[in-house]
Structure 1
Amino acid sequence: MAYKLIALDVDGTIRTAGSPIAERTRRAVDAVRRAGAIVTLATGRTFGSATPNCGILGIEVPIATSQGAYIANPVSEEVLHHHTLTTDMALAALDALEDHTSNDGTQAVAYHSERIYVDRMSEWAAGYGQRTEMDVVLVEDLREIADEGLTRIVAVGEDCDIEMLERDIMPELSNRMLVTRSLPYFCEILHSQGGKEDALEWMCDHFGIQQSETVAFGNGYNDIQMLEWVNLGIAVGDAVPEALAAADIIAPAFAEHGVAQVLEDLLRDGKIG
């Protein structure tokens, strides 16, 4: 059996803040594509933040962004699938976060396409807008925009505070929404079908590919369910322990070009295409 759909997480898997995508990774992805498989991204980044990586890797097929809630073509920018929070979901999420975001340390942020809404212009919010070139819109109360079809609501704060927040809101929200940490200091709340695994299921239907023909690489908490869903889940060696436990294969660490090494091995063994 050959694998036909390869999904790559971005941050911590094929690049980091201080290390761009390596040439070896780019060559491996190109070889996979020439062998006949589809390579896509499955990332927590927004679409606008994810697309530069597509240019580097030559990806022209739909990609999964904002976890898996927003699927669009990186060339045409056509939105193919978008799971937004309903008004009731958004209000429930904001209510659950209220006790945790009433201090200066933790902040709730609402994402809508390439715009974020905040109820205070903190140092983090201003800096995030500058780093990502996203519009940061100040509103008096995030509940004002709960009915606008938000992609996700995110709590941002110190690692230990966000870990505690996630534990506290899970019992209330996890039965009807997706609650995940994309980074140690980011707790995200999305539509229950807004996960990376949901996006890959959509892509399988879109491309006519079987679940048994899927591979995914990841490293974070938000990759766990994707690694469990695909036929071959691969965590890079420096992934969080939970992702390592969910994976079928543990690749060398990011610094050792783990993704490229595994892709090269799969190609050599004739398992791609």
Structure 2
Amino acid sequence: MMEISDLERIARQIRLRDLRAVYEAGAGHIGGEMSVIDLLAALYFRVLRVFPDHPKNPNRDRFVLSKGHTACALYVVLAKRGFLPEEEISTFLKPHSRLNGHPNCNKVPGVETNTGPLGHGLPVAVGMAKAAKLSGAQYHTYVITGDGEMQEGSNWEAIMAAAQFGLDNLTLIVDHNRFQQGASLADTNDIAPLRPKLEAFGWEVSEINGNAMSEIVPALEKRTTRPHCIVARTNKGHGISFMQDRVDWHHKVPSKEQYEIALAELSEAL
């Protein structure tokens, strides 16, 4: 079992590779990728029961990245975990690459379902968890959404259904970085605080620092008698000083000078 310090080191390595991939591709969603990487590292290197050599093993845990625009971070994680050749990351967004701007389950091993249109991943994850209940399967389903994405009504229908079906095999993680495309959450449709809303729908809720591995791991490993939501308070652009908590870094590519600054800051943390 991987220790907290090892997970922190891996997350830093993933941030560096993600930064390079976005810079070389000239496109990406680097702010939200930096906020979610600690969660992805903990999932894939400690929590999820997955089989890189047999990606469709029926006993695998299911993971859905509902905020599919942060696909580059997922690709880097999948490559580091052994689902893809690590050198394939250099093809991100290039012509004929299978590493598109949103994950495709028909092309990329380890991707459970296509995501991109927001508000779809959680309903799909509810279906996966319900299927496990019906078939007696023992896998656990995890899904990560953005906090802006939680403005979608389809998510709240799924939340109601999960409580109704008693899906204690489902964990929702909300990447609560407080920003969405073009504005802060508070300036659009402020659904915070999330905890009382989820609890009112019958869910167990944990609130954590989503960039602190010591809080992420126990929250992900927690098991309850109800569906579980982790409200993970994160920083958009986490780890890069000029990106952190800046809405304009939702969809922006660093200049050469900015890339070198970010590279130095992330390298220093290794």
Q: TM tier, shorter chain?
A: 0.3 to 0.5
Could you say which structure has the larger radius of gyration? 1
Q: Give the TM-score taking structure 1 as reference length.
A: 0.34
Q: Give the TM-score taking structure 2 as reference length.
A: 0.34
